[in-house]
């Protein structure tokens, strides 16, 4: 414990291009780009599968397969294969981001299609009954109802990406993983433990932010805390 504290308290570790703020921002950068790309791929695909019901078996199996790929191995292959073909910093950054995106897609995809699938059929029926066309049903009814599970997928992906992005330091990238790899290389336990603590704190903070966004974005009727009774008391006045 003392080691972590002395490392964290040392002002030299907070300044410069290798300091804690810079590394944290780098780490968030990698995670942010990854989640954005994974969401751009995973959410539309998941929505489509949930909405049309087509391709589900194939995709579910592929996604489960993707979950079992060891990230470190994939990272090394990607760097060896793609690195020589790219120039400059991109040579190591691109393979790393690609691997992280592959890691992040399964939970996001699963969240999206299970979210759409779990939409109350009555709501879907009512929407169709109101004359909405399929795309409208998707946009105005299914997506809002699927939001809790979509968010759940995003949060799960964010947690995995933040924890796993530390491995990219082994292929010369920055981020908080730098403290882990460098700390391990020269057995500086304070640096390693400090880095690990920072990653954990970052993961918790990001999760809390997601939770707040979720609370704001998801319709109150879908929140688990809102019970049937409280809705009823809000909509129906007390009989005098």
Among 22, 32, 59, 76, binds other proteins (CB under 8 A): 76
Among 25, 36, 40, 69, binds other proteins (CB under 8 A): 69
CB of 21 to other proteins, least distance (A): 17
Among 53, 55, 189, 231, binds other proteins (CB under 8 A): 189
Q: Which stretch binds other proteins (CB under 8 A): 32-40, 50-58, 74-82, 144-152?
A: 74-82
**What is the total count of residues that contact other proteins (CB under 8 A)?**
53
CB of 197 to other proteins, least distance (A): 8
Contact track, other proteins, 94-113, x by CB under 8 A: --------------------
Decide if 104 contacts 35 (C-beta within 8 A). Answer: yes
- Chain centre to alpha carbon of residue 48: 20
Report which DSSP code applies to 176: T
Find the binding residues for other proteins in span 7-26 (CB under 8 A).
17
Q: Which of 222, 43, 228 is nearest to 145 (CA)?
A: 222
Q: Burial, 169: exposed, middle or buried (Cβ in 10 Å; 0-12, 13-18, 19+)? A: buried
Query: Using CA atoms, how far apart are residues 115 and 12, in angstroms rounded to an integer?
Result: 47
Q: How many residues does the chain have?
A: 240
Find the binding residues for other proteins in span 148-167 (CB under 8 A).
159, 162-163, 166-167
The residue (of 186 and 239) whose beta carbon lies closer to other proteins is 186
3-state helix, strand, coil in the chain (%, to 5): 80, 0, 20
Decide if 126 contacts 178 (C-beta within 8 A). Answer: no
Among 87, 221, 237, 239, binds other proteins (CB under 8 A): 87
The residue (of 9 and 72) whose beta carbon lies closer to other proteins is 72
**DSSP string computed for 13-45:** GGSSTTSHHHHHHHHHHHHHHHHHHHHHHHHHH
What is the binding site for other proteins (CB under 8 A)?
Answer: 17, 64-65, 67-74, 76-77, 79-81, 83-84, 86-89, 91-92, 159, 162-163, 166-167, 169-172, 177-178, 180-189, 192-193, 195-196, 199-200, 203-204
């Amino acid at each position: 414990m003392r080691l972590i504290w002395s490392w964290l308290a040392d002002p030299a570790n907070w300044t410069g291009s290798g300091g804690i703020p810079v590394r944290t921002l780098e780490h968030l950068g990698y995670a942010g780009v990854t989640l954005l790309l994974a969401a751009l791929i995973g959410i539309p695909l998941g929505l489509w599968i949930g909405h049309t019901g087509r391709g589900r078996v194939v995709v579910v199996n592929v996604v489960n397969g993707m979950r079992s790929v060891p990230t470190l191995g994939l990272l090394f292959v990607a760097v060896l294969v793609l690195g020589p073909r790219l120039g400059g910093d991109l040579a190591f950054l691109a393979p790393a981001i690609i691997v992280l995106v592959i890691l992040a897609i399964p939970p996001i995809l699963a969240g999206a299609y299970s979210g759409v699938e779990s939409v109350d059929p009555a709501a879907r029926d009512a929407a169709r009954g109101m004359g909405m066309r399929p795309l409208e049903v998707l946009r105005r009814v299914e997506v809002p109802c699927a939001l809790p599970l979509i968010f759940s997928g995003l949060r799960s992906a964010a947690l995995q990406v933040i924890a796993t992005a530390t491995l990219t330091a082994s292929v010369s990238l920055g981020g908080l993983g730098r403290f882990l790899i460098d700390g391990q290389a020269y057995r500086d336990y304070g640096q390693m433990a400090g880095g690990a603590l920072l990653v954990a704190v970052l993961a918790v903070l990001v999760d809390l932010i997601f939770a707040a966004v979720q609370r704001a974005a998801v319709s109150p009727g879908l929140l688990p805390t809102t019970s049937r009774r409280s809705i009823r008391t809000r909509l129906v006045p007390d009989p005098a």
